[in-house]
Structure 1
Amino acid sequence: MTTSVQAPNGGTQDNAIARLAQRFTVWTERFLPDAFGFVLVGTCIVFVFGLATGEALTRTPENVATATSGFGLVDAWGKGFWALITFTMQMTMIIVGGYAVAMSPPVARLIARLAQIPKTARGAIVFTAAVAMISGYLNWAFSLIFTAVLAREIARLIRGVDYRAIGAMAFLGLGTVWAQGLSGSAALQMASPASTPEALKKIIASARGGTGVIPLSDTIFLWQGMASTAIIFLVGLAMAWLLAPSPERAKTAEDLGITLKPLLAESEEAKIRSTRPGDWLEHSPLFAILLALLGFWYIVRHFANATGSPLNALDFNTINLMLLMLALVLHWRPLSMVTAVRSGCTAASGVLLQYPFYGGIFGMIAFTGLSKTIAGWLVSASSTLLFPPIIALYSCVLGIFVPSGGSKWLIEAPYVIDAANQLHVNQGWMVVVYDLGEASANLLQPFWMLPTLAILGLRARDVMGYTFAMFLACFPVVLVLVTGFAQTLPFP
């Protein structure tokens, strides 16, 4: 594959896609606000849009404490502001726990070895993209942290790597395949009776009977769904190869004023000799191992007692507990883990500030009639053929303002599944459609980028030129896939 040509000055001239990505990046670096600016602008856009569509400015239903609809925009914003507080804490702990695992000596040595695999700047960017998507398919939370640390180490070792491009590729799992993977929120919710609201179960059962759930075999494990995931994976790799700038035009971490410390040196920082008897507990692995055994004992029982598939037990709290217990074992000495967690807390600062404001946006869409209004427009314009691509587009647009896979699906699912029943479109396929559209939105807004950006020391505007170029390649493919494969599936 030809990716560059000889320039008149003896250097190389990047291909058209690489030049386009660089132009996008120049524009985003000049004109895009930082990540917090996105949520501020997004709040204003949703507020004004709500007023334009006839939503009340202020209104409260009679049963304010339990109501989930009927609020005015101001009241819905306030109700939603803290609606994601549990999720915010869960995300914070994923960052902290994942960072602690990555900084442990054994994992740091593994990452350091992996970082030596690519030998060229372009190969480094493609390799990072592949690791991001593979790990994102397995577990999106692990992917965010692991690939960010890997990208940082690769950039330190290989000269001429564009730090912005490799940072964007470190996030690629969340922008492509994560929702179709083993930790995809929507599919896991639909497969679990306990996670599916009763009203939604009735809508599902009205067409397929049974318990009102959609098993994983009808969503992420459909051959059409797995084929779509594989195609998006290949498109992502090809784009990573094409958009990588030549070393002559790359901006390295040093060019951006970022100092990259050796990963193994960071993981060894907590090895301080004990100077007093009271320090024994901080350096002894005894109680850390005992506590980790207790934690893993509970985790085994938790999966064994899961209803249906053991995957139904894999929720945020379980992932966080596994990360913390694994970190205890891998660090061996409590002092080493405490040092890693302290560094991880810095990486979580963006989440703590911004997620409540995203909760306010969520409230204005979920607790008013705004979501149903938009959905009504879409369904009225749909047909059996056009319904999947229209919902993919809608999920992508809504995902820019409500970037929470599980919570957003619960907003969309009732009317999406109901409309699918009316139009005789396969119910499970509509979960796949949602997954692919929702993941694509992550390439356009910085909500899920925050942990990756914090670890790399980058800003949203540094990487979003590259993620936007990736979106322009992947999303049209998504629309074609969801439309074509829908015709191969029976109703419901």
Structure 2
Amino acid sequence: MLNRVSERFSKVVQRFLPDAFVIAVLMTLFVFVLAIIVTPTDPLELFQSYGDGFWTYLAFTMQMVLLLMTGMVLASVPFIRKGLEALSAKANTANKAYLYTFLITSAAYYINWGLAVIVGAIVAREVGKRNQNAHFPLLVACAYAPTALYTAGLSSSIGLTVATKDHFLADVMGVIPTSDTIFHPGTILILITLVITMPIFILFMAPKKNIIPYTPKEKEQQPIKTEKEEEKTFATSLENTPILGILIGLVGLIYTILQLGKGTDLNLNLINILFLSLGLMFHRSLNQYGKAFQEAAGSISPIILQFPFYAGIIALLGSSGLADIIIKGMISISSTESFGVITYWTAGLVNLLAPSGGGQWALQGPLSVPAGMELGVDPGVIAMVVGWGDAWTNLIQPFWALPILSIVGLHIRHIMGYCILLAIWIGIVSSILIYFVY
């Protein structure tokens, strides 16, 4: 029955869901109107705060872009790409196709969500090529679904932020080690439960008819001149030698090892320099690395375009007091036992308007942390339930699906019906677990 429901629901979503950029603009206008109606803020102040907020998160945006791009470029290293293609060849039935895509991408999301974007896209595409019985939109949804798990992974933006020295809430909650956030027993239990139940739910959604197989993208890239085709000069020798990439990559790798040796927790900057360094070492030359980085940039462009709009929304939510009203209203009905679940739901709601783990933490953290600590809730748990809520509704907020969709050549409306149904399941399971294990 679930596969019939998912098929009909997917058709409805495809008919009515607009482009992600249109959604970003509609969200902006919605928050403007809501702030004017619900709060006493002067409309001119809203315009001022929106314009100021447009550029507030430039540094964080750059961190996120680098996190995504360095992960994507690392996954495009030839031996890594060939390994993913070899794994994809094992998915010789439709059910195996969905399971392989989900599980491989989940492992990549645990390591780094930037890496996972390209891993998911490559695996979905390669599995789709080899298995015409698999429904390709659902296959791509399988590659995107593990975004709901990323907050428990090594690139968790909130988990790494609170582990960073002098983070903006350090005076309130201190520096929280990753043992209290992403490596907390409750976090690991939730992660394992979702990794087991999500693919089962996906298999129940899989359509039995009207299968849409993989079709290659129409866009054909111009062939790039290889090293052998270029005139060999001193300049081209420098560009194509592997030695420079290995040397400069070693510098970054040694720095990372030294920092970890000093007891520094993983944070956004360390992960960025680690993946940048590994990519430089594994690609055959600086020229090849530069081309891979340039290719990755095309998939990131929708995020670069839309992030300032969501930064503006975050500023509106903060300056108007609208975020305070939402978050304080939810906190006011919380008890020590229910605080985690209610904060999770609140984070899921706020994420629909502001799809950025770091940006959302900037909004929700200053309100949730003091309130939760007053009730006796561990600050690391507070950070994680906000993170789980943020990751949960990523399946409904299409912003972070844009790079994968760009690579595989689909539109957000092709996968969102499946993602919404999966988000409902995740919300139920996570709410129960958060109540009992944190």
TM-score, scaled to structure 2: 0.92
> Does residue 253 of structure 1 match 2:214?
yes
Cα distance between partner residues in 2 of 1:269 and 1:238: 46
Distance 1:123 1:417 in 2: 43
**Alignment partner, residue 167 of structure 1:** 140
CA distance in 2, matches of 1:79, 1:197: 22
SS of 1:287's equivalent in the other structure is helix
The 5 Å alignment of 1:94-113 reads 94-113=67-86
Report the CA distance between 1:266 and its aligned residue: 11
Q: Residues 406-445 of structure 1 correspond to what in structure 2 (within 5 A)?
A: 406-445=358-397
Q: Is the 8 A contact 1:79 1:360 kept in 2?
A: yes
- Aligned residue in 1 for 2:4: 19
Which residues of 2 match residues 118-197 of structure 1 at below 5 A? 118-175=91-148, 177-197=149-169
Checking the alignment, whether the CA contact within 8 Å between 2:31 and 2:316 is kept in structure 1 is: yes
Structure 2 letter corresponding to 1:221: F
Which amino acid letter does the alignment assign opposite residue 39 of structure 1? A
1:168-211 deviations in Å (ceiling 9; x for gaps): 11112212x2112222222333334422435xx33x4xxxxxxx
Give the letter for the 1:274 counterpart.
Answer: E
The answer to whether the 8 Å contact 2:49/2:319 transfers is yes
Q: Which has the higher mean CA deviation after the structures are superposed, 376-385 or 88-97? A: 88-97
Q: For 1:236, what is the secondary structure of its paired residue?
A: helix
Cα shift at 1:268: 9.4
User: Which secondary structure state, in structure 1, belongs to the residue aligned with residue 187 of structure 2?
Assistant: helix
Match of 1:462 among 398, 405, 414: 414
Distance apart, 1:393 and its partner CA:
0.9
Of structures 1 and 2, the larger Rg is shown by 1
SS in 1 for 2:214: coil
Superposed CA offset, 1:382-423 (max 9, x none): 233332222111100001111111221132122212222333
Contact residue 103 and residue 266 of structure 1 kept, 8 A: no
1:298 aligned onto 2:255: yes
Identity fraction in percent: 28
Q: Partner residue of 2:237?
A: 280
Residue 68 of structure 2 corresponds to residue 116 of structure 1 = no
Residues 354-402 of structure 1 show CA distances to partners (whole Å, capped at 9, x for unaligned) of 1111111111112332221222211222233332222111100001111
> Does the CA-based 8 Å contact 1:140-1:173 persist in structure 2?
no
Whether contact under 8 Å (1:136, 1:143) holds in the other structure is yes
* Equivalent position to 2:265, from 282, 288, 311: 311
Residue aligning to 1:83: 56
Distance verdict in 2 for CA 1:80–1:270, change over 3 Å: farther
Q: How far apart, in 2, do the equivalents of 1:22 and 1:268 lie? A: 41
Structure 2 counterpart of 1:11 = none
2:250 and 2:18 map into 1 onto residues whose CA distance is 46
* Alignment partners' CA distance in 2, 1:484 and 1:351: 36
Bigger mean CA deviation after superposition, 32-41 or 91-100? 91-100
Match of 1:341 in 2: 293
- Match for 1:304: what amino acid? G
* CA spacing shift, 1:118–1:476, aligned 2, 3 Å: same
Change (3 A) 1:85 1:147: same
Specify whether residues 270 and 398 from structure 1 end up closer, same or farther in structure 2 by C-alpha distance, changes over 3 A only.
Answer: farther
User: Can you give the 5+ residue segments of structure 1 that lack an aligned partner in the other structure?
Assistant: 1-15, 60-71, 205-211, 487-492
Say which is worse superposed, 355-364 or 214-223, in terms of deviation: 214-223
* Counterparts of 1:385 and 1:284, CA distance in 2: 60
* SS of aligned partner of 1:83: coil
Gaps of 5+ in 2: none
Provide, for residues 443-488 of structure 1, a one-character-per-residue CA deviation record: whole Å limited to 9, x for no partner.
11112112212222222111111110111111011111122234xx
Retained in 2: the 8 A contact 1:156–1:260? no
Residue identity opposite 1:42 in structure 2: M
For residues 166 and 36 of structure 1, the distance between their equivalents in structure 2, rounded to whole angstroms, comes to 23
3-state secondary structure, aligned to 1:191: coil
Q: Say if 1:363 and 1:120 are closer, same or farther in 2 by CA, change over 3 A.
A: same
8 A Cα contact 1:288 1:333, kept in partner: yes
Paired with 1:269 and 1:482, the residues of 2 have a C-alpha distance of 54
Counterpart AA for 1:310: T
Matching residue of 2:17? 32
Distance 1:459 1:101 in 2: 25
The 2-side partners of 1:412 and 1:150 are apart by 35
Aligned residue for 1:355?
307
Classify the secondary structure of the residue corresponding to 1:418. helix
Q: Does 2:196 align with 1:234?
A: yes
For 2:101, the aligned partner's letter is: T
> CA–CA distance in 2 between the matches of 1:483 and 1:437?
13
Distance, in Å, in 1 between the alignment partners of 2:69 and 2:203 is 31
For this pair of structures, how many residues does the alignment match?
437
Instruction: Tell whether 2:196 aligns with 1:244.
Output: no
